[in-house]
Amino acid sequence: MKTWGTKRWRLAAITVIAGSVLLSSAACGGDDKKSSSWQGGAEPGSSAGAPAGGSEASQQPLPSTVAVTSPAADAKNVVAISPIKYTTEDAEGTTVKVTDAAGKEVEGTLDKDAKTFTPAKALAYGTKYTVTVTGPEAEGKTNTTTSTFTTMAKPSKVVRVTSFLGDGQVVGVGMPLIMKFGRSIPESYRDDVERRMVVTATPAQEGTWHWTSPTEVHYRPKVYWKPNTKVFYKVSLAGVPLGDGYYGRSDLTVDLKIGRSLIMTVSNKTKQMTVKENGKVIKTLPVSLGKPSTPSSSGTMVVIEKKKHTIFDTTDELGPEEGYRTPIDFAQRITWSGQYIHAAPWSEGKQGKVNVSHGCVNVSEAMGAWLFNKTLMGDVITVSGTEEKLKNGNGWTDWNMSWEEYKKGSYL
């Protein structure tokens, strides 16, 4: 188990159980040893049979039905996203209130089963907070306890967290959600990061996060997004420990929409592309793929970016003799290595018959314009039957893996 003050933190409820055992032992008075975790009750070693109204008995505080176990009373330098943990004799009948120095109440979630209050966002740095726990009334016991703690100073080492997608975007059914970090996240902290990145899809769909590198994590559903799904994700990493003394810089939310379903399927055997919209074939068109020396990749990709007019320049990569610099219309990138769907009027006589491209999916000028006007970033294209298999990571290859394989990239 990792502690708050050293390597990392966890919201696990098991620490509450441990605290509860200590408190119940002290409160019952069955152990003659003094316990620093005991609050509000008589000294465990005191005589249970002391006469009522005696001077010793009158000085003993009443035992309590509730106690705060974490953060410790008067604790300093508390991590700003620390949960509040407590014990109680009646979970359902207990309330928790957290206030700042000005008396303003902190918003959060109360998990009565785990006996944990979790702030909705990171608490203010360098601020004193008061926890008030109120439990059921019980004869001979108090039912309210208070405890204070002070949060850590604002950290100087922070990690910026950014989303590739933004509010209001409409994307294809294959679009992964992409989060990037300004610094590598150590493996031992990635499960904590995933827990604080919550995706809500309407309608609901099963999905998971998958780390593509130490600085980037993607999310995809088990199968393609359902058309017209509303997607909202909240990333709550402000104040979260991210290793080596670094903390998350801020929180963010993104609210976007999945568009209609558009799937492009390309067969090297037939040299044809089939386009389906919402499950129905709307177009079949001839293509020319990569020639044997520069084959197209077989696998499932998505549209990464679109450029109506651009220039392909390979002279730096291949040299002035083998390289080329060619104006291109209706270019849609599908791999980082430079494979695109694009208009290629010079190969129209070859399309549907023979492969002549440098790895791209060549279509006619007219079909290039038609496709360009139909597609969204995140639309799916699957190519099959070529000499080379798509390498994972060469583009957004989230769908080039089985669901079982994809899940292995999560740290939960």
Residues, the chain: 412
- Residue pair 361/340 in contact (Cβ under 8 Å)? The answer is yes
The tokens describing 141, both together, are: 């016991």
CA distance 367 to 285: 8
First to last CA, the chain: 15
Within 140-206, strands assigned E span: 144-151, 158-159, 161-163, 170-171, 177-181, 197-202
**Tokens of residue 146, six digits:** 């208070």
Q: Catalytic positions, please?
A: 342, 360
Q: Contact 11/83 with Cβ under 8 angstroms?
A: yes
Sheet arrangement for strand 95-99: 75-78, 144-151, 128-134, 95-99
Alpha helices per DSSP H over 187-246: 190-195
Task: Classify 242 as helix, strand or coil.
Answer: strand
Q: CA separation (Å) from 97 to 71, 73, 75?
A: 14, 15, 18
3-class secondary-structure state, position 332? strand
DSSP string, 253-295: EEEEEE---EEEEEETTTTEEEEEETTEEEEEEE-B-B-TTSP
Q: What is the dihedral of CA 14, 17, 21, 22, to 10 degrees?
A: 70
Strand order in the sheet with 170-171: 170-171, 251-258, 230-236, 197-202
Q: Can you say how many angstroms the Cα of residue 355 is from the centroid of all Cα atoms in its chain?
A: 41
Q: What count of Cα atoms within 13 Å lies in the side-chain half-sphere of residue 111? A: 15
